[in-house]
Structure 1
Amino acid sequence: MSVKPRHTSPSGESRPARLITDSLEPKTWIIAVTVLMGWHADRLAGVGWGLVAALFSAAVPVLFIKWGEQRGHWGDRHVRRRQDRLVVIPGIMASVTTGIALMVLLDAPNEMIALIVAMLVTLIAILIITLAWKVSVHSAVSAGAIMMLALAYGPWALPAFLLVALVGWSRVKLQDHSLAQVVVGTLLGPAVAGTVFSLLR
């Protein structure tokens, strides 16, 4: 009787890769960066703004994706098919734009507005690339979040790029992305989000 390797799921999928992909998905990074940036911007009051930002940039998008998943519009919460992402990303952009408008109206700290605008511009860049190619959103979001934290808090945040490497490995291991798609995402996030955040903060 054969015994399946302990490091794989019954379907042959790598359990460590699945755990990393699911645990360090974009919403995790978005919640972390909005709360941490909120603390940097205005301590406890800033954390409140961070939670508002997380609502529109993470919570509402997750509910939108869950809604589409339950109705069979896309396969799972990671929206693997490129064509489906062309619907999901604009939906997320609408939520983020609403959050930006609300935060501007209520006079949120400039650093928080810069953070969310940087996220929106990154989404626009991802959408443009996704018209022809399935760039890794996991890699772009995680790398962009760390770059913005490093710009705010200093270089102590940079070692967290090791987690980005783990995320990229998991995406390739699960065959959800090619190595090239992960590398481009890893470069895109810091380049776009970091630049926009630096200019607006």
Structure 2
Amino acid sequence: MTQVVTRDRRLAHAVSEVFAPAVVVVVLPLAVAWSATGFDPWWTLVWGLEVALFSSVIPMAFIIRGARQGRWDTHHVRDREHRFLPLMVGLVSTLVGLAVLVLGGAPREVLALSLSMLGTLVVCIAITRRWKVSLHAAVAGGAVAMITLLYGWWSLLLLVPLVAVCWARVVLGEHTVAQVVVGSLLGPVFGGAVFLLVR
């Protein structure tokens, strides 16, 4: 029994890392930019990496530095009370990135993605003040919604890794079932709605 629990925890840890918000927010903008640019490799990289830089790389660098300085426990910032500052840094960085997209004349779908992530982040920040909603689930859920809107219903196969992420966060004791369910709905409901309105 102990071996099964240990194996499950190892698998859950791997799933949590592979589908961490910072990872998804590097891959998702490239997928959106690929569609938005008419499958142009150069502009896919330009716009996709711009969104990834401001919405993932810069905030994650801040979080990792804070973890190394002992300001929070790990790069996942497990304690809800410590999440406000990292989330606000992510919000400000995403806003700067959005301004660069507007000034640079980015494709509408890329702007829609940035705005949808911004909107979801604002909602998550508000909820996190009192309750530890799952950011892993929120980002993964939003990614499934946006990829499905762009590439069609076959993309719903991505529900499999979304469910795996939710399972992993619960197995690791990072969230309750309610927290991952709410998180997995936040991305599609808020992020998906903004994406549909703007694109």
Fold shared, TM-score > 0.5 on shorter chain = yes
Structure 2 SS opposite 1:8: helix
The answer to whether the Cα contact below 8 Å between 1:79 and 1:85 also exists between their aligned partners in 2 is: yes
CA contact (8 A) 1:85 1:130 kept: yes
Map 1:120-135 → 2, pairs under 5 A: 120-135=118-133
Where in structure 2 are the equivalents of 1:45-124 lying within 5 Å?
45-124=43-122
188-197 vs 27-36, greater mean Cα deviation: 27-36
* Gapped regions of structure 2 (runs ≥ 5): none
Q: Match for 1:95: what amino acid? A: S
Query: How far did residue 152 of structure 1 move?
Result: 1.1
Whether the 8 Å CA contact 1:65–1:88 is kept in 2: the answer is yes
Preserved CA contact (<8 Å) 1:139 1:167: yes
CA distance in structure 1 between the partners assigned to 2:134 and 2:166 by the alignment: 8
Corresponding residue of 2:33: 38
- Structure 1 distance, partners of 2:145, 2:3, is 37
Candidates 162, 181, 193, aligned match of 1:195: 193
Following superposition, the deviation at residue 29 of structure 1 comes to 1.2
Distance, in Å, in 2 between the alignment partners of 1:113 and 1:189 is 16
Inter-partner Cα distance in structure 1 for 2:131 and 2:4: 34
Cα deviation, residue 7, structure 1: 5.7
Which of 159, 165, 168 aligns to 1:161? It is 159
Q: Deviations 1:104-135 (Å, cap 9, x if unpaired)?
A: 01111111011011000000000111111000
Q: Quote the Cα distance in structure 2 between the aligned partners of 1:189 and 1:143.
A: 5
Identical amino acids, percent of aligned pairs: 39
Q: Is 1:23 aligned with 2:21?
A: no
Shift of 1:23: 1.2
Give secondary structure in 1 for the equivalent of 2:24.
Answer: helix
CA distance in 2 between counterparts of 1:7 and 1:125 reads 34
CA shift for structure 1 position 88: 1.0
Question: Is the CA contact (8 Å cut-off) linking 1:136 and 1:182 kept in structure 2?
Answer: yes
Distance 2:26 2:86 in 1: 19
- How many residue pairs match? The answer is 196
Deviation at 1:32, TM superposition (A): 1.4
Name segments (4+ residues, structure 1) moved above 6 Å: none
Q: Which residue of 1 aligns with 2:174?
A: 176
2: CA distance, partners of 1:170 / 1:46 = 31
Cα distance in 1 for partners of 2:125, 2:12 equals 25
Relative to structure 1, is the Cα distance of residues 15 and 184 closer, same or farther in structure 2, using a 3 angstrom cutoff?
same
Q: Which runs of 5+ in 1 are unaligned?
A: none
CA distance in 2, matches of 1:195, 1:6: 40
What root-mean-square deviation, in Å, do the aligned CA atoms of Structure 1 and Structure 2 show? 1.5
The structure richer in helix per residue is: 2
Aligned equivalents of 1:33, 1:22: Cα separation in 2: 16
Counterpart secondary structure, 1:5: helix
